[in-house]
Structure 1
Amino acid sequence: MSTNIFSVVEARCRHDAPLLYTEDGTTISYGDMLALTARYANLLASLGVVKGDRVAAQVEKSPEALFLYLAVIRMGAIYLPMNTAYQLPEMEYFFKDAQPTVFVHDPANATAKQELAMACGIPHCLTLDGAGLGSLSDQCRAQSASFATVDTSNGEVAAILYTSGTTGRPKGVMISHENLLANGEALVKLWGFTGADIQLHALPLFHAHGLFLSTHCALLSGSSMIFLKKFVAAKVVEMLPRATVMMGVPTFYTRLLDTPQFDLVACHNVRLFVSGSAPLLPETALYMQQRTGHTVLERYGMTESLVITSNPLHGERRIGSVGLPIEGTELRLADEAVNDNRPLPAGTVGAIQIRGPAIMKGYWRNPEKTAEELTSDGWFKTGDLGVLSEDGYLTIVGRSKDLIISGGYNIYPKEVESILNAIPGVVESAVVGVAHRDFGEAVTAVLVCSEPVPSADDIMASLKGQLANYKLPKKIFFVAEFPRNAMGKVLKNELRAIYGKV
């Protein structure tokens, strides 16, 4: 039996039911989606794309961008979404590692992108802008609106999402159709989605949160989405009275709370607010309660496993906790330094380990790293530290890796540090995340420099064009030396404590 998640959507949907409501007032039905994904799939097939081939996309959010993703998985190929903020040096690594057959990109800076793609051996490039226009749309018009969805089985990969490692070398997380279907079905049930729901979708489509979690809850339940190109607080408040559900990152909620019109009236039709991708500060959750009467449902997940735990739809939504393991997912805490598979009792801080049907197939072409992330008895090591209550609620207390989550995006300090260290005058750098009301965490760089010490403006000028904007430091500090332990390791916890107060 096929496990292609698109087959499930195709079998369940009503062709005349609305799927997307756009900002300009257009309604796009499930039938429209089926026709356009067929045209895209036929076009990609005419370019030689077959099951297992990679299709890379760096495009602005639009209905057509969503349908491109669905077309790729419909034909059994592998979708590779790329953050629209990535610069050419970052893209080059993904191209060489994933070796896509087709690259779909925004027309802006098209020549440089196509030259890079050609140099990396990508045979075909297509364009798609934020209005849904470009050579992809032009060439698909001649294609048939009928396409036989390709069967997939045995853990075949639907998408590869790159996530940075502590060494700075990104890893391609292979997400299978079974992963997507298992997690999507569990969330539809857990969060009570029905065909009557209208979800306000303001998340980007290059991230698992917006591409998988939000869209799959709609697609698998036959519900609709108000599809915003990006998050703008005023626009969200304007559209919110039509919605029943909203998913977001903590930054969304802090910015909504800064908007006077965000109140009980604006939220009168909403049954559920969900927050994820970064820690939701307790003060933000409490303020949401006061302003809207809603307790935000906080959940916990990661690219390698999608959603792991969630506070319940019905029952206690415990502020400060990320809730209970979702259906099908097992979770335990262990002292990995002593024994990587001995569970710790409730109330004890330990490394969070999981297993279940939504955990990735592995890292793309990196079996050694995949094996490193598994315990001796086959559980996946999340890299996060947590504590379980007696009744099973999980609270995240830290990360065993120095991951920074800013605005819902993952940033590993090593990647930023390697570029900082190459700047003339920089002797050594340490990059940490410090608490930030709007972004959750702010990237902060602390530098030891030689004379003449470069200015912060010079440092930022060197970084721009090499790093996506969300990875750039919000603040830069200069010091004579770093605090270190007896082994000479920089004490980043001290840097976080010092510069988190500045």
Structure 2
Amino acid sequence: MIDRSLWQRFVEIADRDPNRPAIIDVTAQAEWTYGMVRERAEGAAEILASCQEQFIVQIGEPDGASLPLVLAATCAGKTFVPLSDREPPARLAQMIQGFGDRLVVCPDAGCADALGLGQDRIGLGLDGLMAWRVADDAAALEGTDAPFLITHSSGSTGLPKAIAISQAVKLKRSLQSIELFGITPDDRVLSVSPLHHSLGQRHLFVSLLSGAALIKAYPFVPDRWITAARAYRSTLAIAVATHLKVLQPALSADPGILDSFRVMVTSSAPAEAEFKTKVLDAAAFEFWEIYGMTEAACVTAVRYQKGLDTAHLGTALPGVEIRIRDGEIQLKSAYLCDGYFGAPARWQDAFTEDGWFRSGDLGRIDERGRLYYLGRQGESFQSAGLVVFPAEVEAGLQGCRDVLDCVAFGVPNTVFENLVGLAYVPSHDAVTDRDILAFARTALPKHCVPARICRFERFPTLTSGKLDRKQIVSLSLEALRDPVARVDIVQ
């Protein structure tokens, strides 16, 4: 039996007020009501239902006019697979292999040619949106149930995973966020996250399953974010911490930009305590932080209060249990995904023998049950016999006015095993490496003081907006092989 729980919820919402704005595309300056979105989704669903292909692979970011394709998949019982068009064609081709018979939606014929999709294409009834039919004799879902959504993790800390999510689980997750942040039809949800990232999907579904309006302003550009916030009177955003950092100078100079906001949430990567305190000082809205992952959605949440501790990530949400074993954050959750698509053994390996999901994150829990994040497994390292957590080094440097952002890492060394390395973006041109070292010596334990420093004009980011830590570390290590780029702390 096909699960249509997401579609049924959307129809209930759309029928209550079909004339209410559902999607507002800031770039196109176009608007679609709930009635229009439903009509467009039903038309596309009719086409999808007549196709034998189970998988709808969409490459590139859909605009507001083509977003109903996601809902069409929920109506037709198909599997939607959003992918970034920033990936090289060879990698995209590899990612879509093994999905069985599939429809591949490309941004243009040139992309289809690069992927070798051939000439077999059909229209989907959404403003000329075209899909190429690709047959595969090795059906990937033989003997299994098809998920609704397959989201590929960024791969920023390891091999990317194809995370499978059913309609029932996606609905449950969406309702969790709707209840947590009190989202109503009066809200206008500002989204600058891509649909191939779980945060972009969360924005879409919490909007359309609550009756709120989705203000779509991807990709993130500071001026566009500010314009969208003001012009459309945005009330809620679940933002990547990196985006808020970039916006901080503008928001500090003109706090009125945020006058319409009711709730601001930072997500995807924990924000530093110093930064959160600055936001709170200027905030006239609820400021939340959530900790979670694509596999488990929201795990903890906290609404910060002025003058109180902002270093923690809150306590476990209802339906979730967390524990720390060997420094790792482990959890049980009613919101877990349905597994890693095509990799059941890898999914099984993600659990402990007693059934706890292994997050791969390091942390600690205080006596009040509040979670503190210490970084990813594999990022911590030994230096002179002591363990260094990059997250603690970075947090210690957030109080430095000369540092806009920073990433700590281990630099292999034959004597000390590793030295502490630091990549940083200066807050102004006059900053020197010695300025950073002088502050680090006063703010950090001796074993955490950077021994090697690499300066960036700006950090590379993933399409989600998170820092691309792998690339930052790789570029830094490469630069530090040049003796001119090295900075010794021993005078």
The reply to whether TM is greater than 0.5 is yes
The aligned residue for residue 149 of structure 1 is none
Task: Answer yes or no: is 1:16 the counterpart of 2:54.
Answer: no
CA distance in 1, matches of 2:159, 2:87: 15
SS of 2:322 mapped into structure 1: strand
The count of residues paired between Structure 1 and Structure 2 equals 391
| 1:381 to partner: Cα distance | 0.8
The aligned residue for residue 375 of structure 1 is 352
| 1:262 to partner: Cα distance | 5.7
8 A contact 2:287–2:304 mirrored in 1: no
TM-score computed with the length of structure 2 as normaliser: 0.70
Give the counterpart letter for 1:7 in structure 2.
Answer: Q
CA distance in 1, matches of 2:47, 2:75: 13
SS of 2:247 mapped into structure 1: helix
Task: Answer yes or no: is 1:396 the counterpart of 2:394.
Answer: no
| 1:58 to partner: Cα distance | 0.9
State the structure with bigger RCO (CA 8 A, min sep 6), 1 or 2. 1
The aligned residue for residue 216 of structure 1 is 205
- How is 1:41-56 mapped onto 2 (pairs within 5 angstroms)? 41-49=45-53, 53-56=54-57
- How is 1:50-89 mapped onto 2 (pairs within 5 angstroms)? 53-89=54-90
| 1:256 to partner: Cα distance | 1.2
Residue from 331, 338, 341 that aligns with 1:354: 331
SS of 1:47 mapped into structure 2: coil
| 1:376 to partner: Cα distance | 1.4
In structure 2, the gaps of 5 or more residues are 132-143, 381-389, 392-408, 410-417, 427-466
With over 3 angstroms needed to count, the CA separation of the structure-2 counterparts of 1:262 and 1:315, relative to structure 1, is closer
SS of 1:265 mapped into structure 2: helix
CA distance in 1, matches of 2:487, 2:194: 33
8 A contact 1:214–1:247 mirrored in 2: yes
SS of 1:279 mapped into structure 2: coil
CA RMSD in angstroms, aligned pairs only: 3.8
Give the counterpart letter for 1:190 in structure 2.
Answer: L
Cα deviation digits, residues 271-292 of structure 1 (max 9, x gap): 1111111121223222223344
| 1:101 to partner: Cα distance | 0.9
Task: Answer yes or no: is 1:257 the counterpart of 2:269.
Answer: no
The aligned residue for residue 98 of structure 1 is 99
Cα deviation digits, residues 94-139 of structure 1 (max 9, x gap): 1213345100011173353341x35xxx9657699xxx754439xx
SS of 1:280 mapped into structure 2: coil
SS of 1:64 mapped into structure 2: coil
CA distance in 1, matches of 2:84, 2:487: 32
- How is 1:140-179 mapped onto 2 (pairs within 5 angstroms)? 157-163=147-153, 169-179=159-169
| 1:29 to partner: Cα distance | 0.9
CA distance in 2, matches of 1:328, 1:370: 21
With over 3 angstroms needed to count, the CA separation of the structure-2 counterparts of 1:377 and 1:111, relative to structure 1, is closer
With over 3 angstroms needed to count, the CA separation of the structure-2 counterparts of 1:168 and 1:289, relative to structure 1, is closer
With over 3 angstroms needed to count, the CA separation of the structure-2 counterparts of 1:315 and 1:234, relative to structure 1, is closer
8 A contact 1:19–1:224 mirrored in 2: yes
CA distance in 2, matches of 1:437, 1:247: 24
Give the counterpart letter for 2:471 in structure 1.
Answer: P
CA distance in 2, matches of 1:332, 1:3: 34
CA distance in 2, matches of 1:310, 1:168: 25
8 A contact 1:248–1:276 mirrored in 2: yes
SS of 1:86 mapped into structure 2: coil
Cα deviation digits, residues 179-228 of structure 1 (max 9, x gap): 211211111111111111111122211100011x2122212211112221
The aligned residue for residue 195 of structure 2 is 205
8 A contact 1:288–1:295 mirrored in 2: no
Residue from 225, 231, 234 that aligns with 2:214: 225
With over 3 angstroms needed to count, the CA separation of the structure-2 counterparts of 1:291 and 1:127, relative to structure 1, is farther
CA distance in 1, matches of 2:421, 2:8: 42
8 A contact 1:18–1:27 mirrored in 2: yes
| 1:369 to partner: Cα distance | 0.8
The aligned residue for residue 430 of structure 2 is none
| 1:32 to partner: Cα distance | 0.8
With over 3 angstroms needed to count, the CA separation of the structure-2 counterparts of 1:66 and 1:46, relative to structure 1, is same
TM-score computed with the length of structure 1 as normaliser: 0.69
| 1:383 to partner: Cα distance | 0.9
With over 3 angstroms needed to count, the CA separation of the structure-2 counterparts of 1:172 and 1:498, relative to structure 1, is farther
With over 3 angstroms needed to count, the CA separation of the structure-2 counterparts of 1:390 and 1:36, relative to structure 1, is same
With over 3 angstroms needed to count, the CA separation of the structure-2 counterparts of 1:55 and 1:269, relative to structure 1, is same
With over 3 angstroms needed to count, the CA separation of the structure-2 counterparts of 1:164 and 1:22, relative to structure 1, is closer
With over 3 angstroms needed to count, the CA separation of the structure-2 counterparts of 1:436 and 1:304, relative to structure 1, is farther
- How is 1:472-483 mapped onto 2 (pairs within 5 angstroms)? 473-474=471-472, 475-478=475-478
CA distance in 2, matches of 1:433, 1:4: 49
| 1:385 to partner: Cα distance | 1.2
SS of 2:303 mapped into structure 1: coil
The aligned residue for residue 270 of structure 1 is 261
Cα deviation digits, residues 328-372 of structure 1 (max 9, x gap): 22222223xxxxxxxxxxxxxx31111222111111121111111
Task: Answer yes or no: is 1:31 the counterpart of 2:25.
Answer: no
8 A contact 1:311–1:324 mirrored in 2: yes
| 1:231 to partner: Cα distance | 1.6
With over 3 angstroms needed to count, the CA separation of the structure-2 counterparts of 1:7 and 1:314, relative to structure 1, is farther
In structure 1, the gaps of 5 or more residues are 138-153, 336-349, 406-412, 414-429, 439-468, 482-496
SS of 2:255 mapped into structure 1: coil
Using the TM superposition, name which of 391-400 and 7-16 deviates more. 7-16
CA distance in 1, matches of 2:308, 2:195: 28
Using the TM superposition, name which of 314-323 and 63-72 deviates more. 314-323
Identity fraction in percent: 23
CA distance in 1, matches of 2:157, 2:29: 46
With over 3 angstroms needed to count, the CA separation of the structure-2 counterparts of 1:3 and 1:169, relative to structure 1, is same
